[in-house]
Amino acid sequence: MSHMGKSHLVIMWTVGPDDVAEGDRIFASHAEWMKGHPREGDVALLDYTVSKGPELSNPMDPSSEKTGKTIFVLDEYYESPAGIARHWQDATDNWPDLSAAVAWRDEHDARLPLTRADLHSQNNQSAQPKSCTLARSASAVTKHH
């Protein structure tokens, strides 16, 4: 399935070594909660991935030195902007770890770099080039389709 024209939410956190376990715990809770999201209609969750990997001194060089920090990347695709709006409201109403996630976010370098549709996409069903790549060393810890 192509994600072209779909709504895309990406959030990145950069954390020190003492905070990785809490990130793992929060994202495990988040992944479990995400199982309840609709998979059809205007608010459908189309793809969900949480990845983590070492921060590199040169993010364009996978062989560069590690900084000692870890980057977590939350990546969600929805059918439309209504899916993202529903997601935020449902988190407020129903995700027990939202307050812990907000506190953890406030303590770290969290960025919400993208909440719009992709310009280019590539997946197993598409031959279009992907426009951006995160560190090759990032390892997916959770993936749901």
pLDDT score recorded for residue 5:
77
Helix (H) or strand (E) holding 67: strand 66-78
For the chain, the domain total comes to 1
pLDDT at 145: 42
**Rounded CA separation 95/26 (Å):** 11
* DSSP code per residue over 80-126: SHHHHHHHHHHHHHH-TTHHHHHHHHHTSEEEEEE-S--SS---TT-
Q: Does a structural domain hold residue 1?
A: no
CA angle 120/123/128 to nearest 5° reads 40
Q: What is the pLDDT of residue 141?
A: 37
Distances (CA, A) of 118 to 2, 97, 142: 10, 29, 21
60 within domain boundaries: yes
CATH of the domain at 98: 3.30.70.100
Q: Roughly what angle, to the nearest 10 degrees, separates helices 20-34 and 98-106? A: 140
Mean pLDDT split into 10-residue runs, the chain, 145 residues? 79 93 96 94 94 94 95 92 93 94 85 56 42 33 40
Residue-wise pLDDT tens digits, 47-67: 999 999 999 999 999 999 999
Q: Could you tell me if residue 2 is inside a domain?
A: no
pLDDT of residue 116: 55
In the chain, the N- to C-terminal Cα span, in Å, equals: 10
Range of the domain at 26: 7-144
Neighbours of 135 (CB within 10 A): 20
- Yes or no: say if 50 and 27 are a contact pair by the CB < 8 Å rule: yes
